[in-house]
Amino acid sequence: MLSYLVNKRALILMINFFTSPDQYKHWQINISGNVATLLLNVDENENPTLGYTLKLNSYDLGVDIELNDAVQRLRFEHPEVGAVIITSAKDRVFSAGANIQMLGQLSHVEKVNFCKYTNETRISIEDASLNSGQTYLCAINGPASGGGYELALATEHIILVDDGATAIALPEVPSLAVLPGTGGLTRVIDKRHVRRDRADFFCTTSEGVRGRRALDWNLVDELATRSNLVSQTHSRAKSFAQKNNRRISANGIKLEPINRKIEKNLISYDLIEILINRDLRTATFKIKGPDKTSNLSIKYIYSIGCKFWPLAFARELDDAILHLRFNEPEIGTWVLTSEGNHDAMEAIDKIMLKNYKNWFIHEIILNLKRTFKRLDISSRSLIALIEPNSCFTGTLAELALAADTSYMLDKAIEENTEKKTTFCLTGINFGYLSMSNGLSRISSRFLGNKGHIEKIKLIGGKQLEAKEAEELGLVTFAPDDIDWDDEIRIALEARASFSPDALSAMEANLRFGGPETIESKIFSRLSAWQNWLFQRPNANTSLESYGTGKQPTFDRNRV
């Protein structure tokens, strides 16, 4: 399932994000009625060749790949579940967080990618609690340090065993010279509303806090004796499940394996083909939209399950994003293209919006939203190309709206073809697939211009040609066939010539205008500072000396 890129030992292996419960090494799923339990039981010797052992339920990327898969499967395969307990299967140990030896030997790129993925997984847990009626709660049965406590923070209710010994802690600043990497600082303040002075003390004391103080400071929601922890947690979970009112009798939808083939410069799925140009450092996505209209019904959609186009597309795009992030870090520009039937895409959007309250359709839209968010926060330049064979309608129009720059071919080339170059918005583009800042991509695009957004809403469903789309601000440029090839070539060559660091920083600043949310803070403020800290000598010496008994020597300059 997982092989790390360990540069120090010149071990170059691919990271694979495919897994399923029968392959899990670190998690167990137990389901009793409308309550599920995720038991963390890390196999500390799962990857013995990588130079570290996952002691005390500490985790690496492999542990989180399984957790992400479990969260997704509970949403789709077990709609009857209304509450999910996260706890440890090990006696008197919850989790020591991210494995420090693992972090110490990873390259800078690998550390940043690891933190981003764990953040996305924690946010998917919060999304399930908020939008899917599957409320997560956590039973801390032993010390929870760093990322272990951050995992608990992602749930909506934390129960801590009060035994005089079990502590929760965010010790990264005093012990490692880095920040809690999975949103801990943000959630302590913004989610749990811990007073700033108390949060400061909590985050600068390695030993953390216990029992009554943790409860009084709102770092946890309940205390339990060790003998009562299990029964008290299950009682609380059942009450959450009842409040969620998820009286779903329908069977879940099995998430079958994705078809994927990887060659040297080609990655192929059923609906997506990705061609890599290593000279230009580009990955061109060729996305196959729905190819024909049909009389869709909920019964039919249930019958095809995970093969229903929007879900199949979301799962393939999600895997492609992760694969390129981790395994192709030098491919810095992603070119987004599409093909398909506009009417078919619009019909799918309409059936999804009409049946939005249906649990399965609702989960598909949420999954699309999470996948597009993953695209937004990927540190890659995004360029959309809208051509005669394209299908940038509704759901697929989000790709063009997510792009940093979009080019739409003017109609001059269309004199000898039956295909027209068009761009079309549907109802799904207005609030159903919001970004991390809580806004739709249309609202983020036209910040402070509500009148223009309302104007665009009125023409939803219209197939817009290039000049009209350009005038409305829905695409960046609309060159004709004479200039098309040169403009695209110049744009890609320019992107390849710029500093990747500067591009990542610029794009992250420009993509997320408007209000801040917990999620956008984690992916902007935290990611930027952690990225910087990981490169500083203080962090490097601390991570490498951890556990050796040697005290790091700090550069004392405040920067």
So what's the pLDDT on residue 257? 96
Q: Residues 277, 233: one domain?
A: no
Q: Residues 158, 285: one domain?
A: no
Is 287 inside a domain boundary? yes
Q: Residues 281, 232: one domain?
A: no
- Pinpoint the alpha helices (H) of 22-144: 61-77, 100-105, 108-131
Between strands 27-32 and 83-88, the pairing is unpaired
**Structural domain ending residue among the three candidates 211, 243, 275:** 243
Q: b vs e for 389-413, b when ≥16 Cβ sit within 10 Å of the residue's Cβ?
A: ebbbbbbbbbbbbbbbebbbbbbeb
Q: What is the pTM of this model?
A: 0.95
Is 231 inside a domain boundary? yes
DSSP 317-365: HHHHHHHHHHH-TT--EEEEEEES-HHHHHHHHHHHHHTTTSHHHHHHH
Q: Residues 239, 270: one domain?
A: no
Q: Residues 499, 369: one domain?
A: yes
Is 72 inside a domain boundary? yes
Distance, CA of 478 to CA of 175 (rounded, Å): 54
So what's the pLDDT on residue 437? 94
So what's the pLDDT on residue 249? 66
Distance, CA of 115 to CA of 119 (rounded, Å): 6
The CATH number of the domain where 142 resides is what? 3.90.226.10
- 3-state SS string over 436-449? CCCCCHHHHHCCCC
So what's the pLDDT on residue 292? 82
What is the distance of C-alpha 438 from the center of its chain?
15
φ/ψ of 552, rounded to 5, equals -70, 150
Is 533 inside a domain boundary? no
Q: Residues 225, 291: one domain?
A: no
Distance, CA of 238 to CA of 157 (rounded, Å): 13
Question: Are 297 and 356 contacting, i.e. CB atoms less than 8 angstroms apart?
Answer: no
Q: Residues 222, 277: one domain?
A: no
Per-residue tens of pLDDT for the chain, all 559 residues: 444 444 433 345 789 999 999 999 999 999 999 999 999 999 998 776 678 899 999 999 999 999 999 999 999 999 999 999 999 999 999 999 999 989 988 899 999 999 999 999 999 999 999 999 999 999 999 999 999 999 999 999 999 999 999 999 999 999 999 999 999 999 999 999 999 999 999 999 999 999 999 999 999 999 999 999 999 999 999 999 998 866 676 789 999 999 999 999 999 999 999 999 999 999 999 999 998 877 789 999 999 999 999 999 999 999 999 999 999 999 999 999 999 999 999 999 999 999 999 999 999 999 999 999 999 999 999 999 999 989 999 999 999 999 999 999 997 555 555 668 999 999 999 999 999 999 999 999 999 999 999 999 999 899 999 999 999 999 999 999 999 999 999 999 999 999 999 999 899 889 988 999 999 999 888 888 888 888 888 888 888 888 888 888 888 888 8
Distance, CA of 17 to CA of 15 (rounded, Å): 7
In whole angstroms, how far apart are CA 302 and each of 254, 305, 360?
Answer: 11, 5, 8
Q: Residues 391, 304: one domain?
A: yes
Beta-ladder partners of 140:
160
So what's the pLDDT on residue 416? 56
Domain count, the chain: 2
Q: Token pair for residue 370?
A: 């999470």
Is 51 inside a domain boundary? yes
So what's the pLDDT on residue 104? 86
Report CA dihedral (165, 169, 174, 175) to the nearest 10 degrees: 80
Q: Residues 104, 130: one domain?
A: yes
**Structural domain ending residue among the three candidates 470, 495, 511:** 511
DSSP 174-220: HHHSS--TTSHHHIIIIIT---HHHHHHHTT-TT-EEHHHHHHTTS-
So what's the pLDDT on residue 247? 65
Structural domain of 32: 7-243
Q: b vs e for 215-250, b when ≥16 Cβ sit within 10 Å of the residue's Cβ?
A: bebebbbbbbeeeebeebbbebbbebbeebebebee
HSE of 70, CA atoms in CB hemisphere, 13 A: 28
Is 270 inside a domain boundary? yes
So what's the pLDDT on residue 11? 41
Element (H, E) at 456: helix 450-458
DSSP class of residue 524 equals I
Question: Are 414 and 364 contacting, i.e. CB atoms less than 8 angstroms apart?
Answer: no
Is 346 inside a domain boundary? yes
Q: Residues 194, 307: one domain?
A: no
Neighbours of 84 (CB within 10 A): 28
Q: Residues 335, 474: one domain?
A: yes
Question: Are 204 and 185 contacting, i.e. CB atoms less than 8 angstroms apart?
Answer: no
Q: Residues 296, 163: one domain?
A: no
Is 520 inside a domain boundary? no
Burial class (CB in 10 A: 0-12, 13-18, 19+), 496: middle
